[in-house]
Amino acid sequence: MKVNVIGGEMNIHEIDEYIKYVNKKYVGRQIKQLDIIIDGEYIDLKCYFKDTDFQRAYRSADYLVNSMDKLNDAKQSEFAQKKHHKV
């Protein structure tokens, strides 16, 4: 992750704390860049996220799953027998 400190200076410990904060706030998202903007007594954080790959979702009854492993044998067999269309 690239970190830019704008408008002042900050020690590495403070930067690490802001990195921990944004990682907790945006769980599951990959942060490409973090801008820490110092404005007097205030700190603004601006995050830029990496593009994520499309993840296939399977519809089973009335719920969506992202992995066939979560389905029982009957549902896995049902999906295997379906005709697949090109996206």
Do residues 31 and 48 make contact, with C-beta atoms less than 8 angstroms apart?
yes
Cα(67)–Cα(86) distance, rounded to whole angstroms? 19
pLDDT in tens, 62-83: 555 666 676 778 777 777 777 6
Cα(73)–Cα(60) distance, rounded to whole angstroms? 12
Ordered by start, the domain boundaries in the chain are 2-49, 53-87
pLDDT at 61: 57
Give how far the C-alpha of residue 26 lies from the chain's centroid of Cα atoms, to the nearest Å.
Answer: 7
Contacts by 52-60 with C-beta closer than 8 Å and gap 24+? none
Tokens (6 digits) for 6? 């704008």
Q: pTM for the complete prediction?
A: 0.58
The average pLDDT across 5-9 equals 95
pLDDT in tens, 37-49: 999 999 999 999 9
Whole-number average pLDDT of the chain? 83
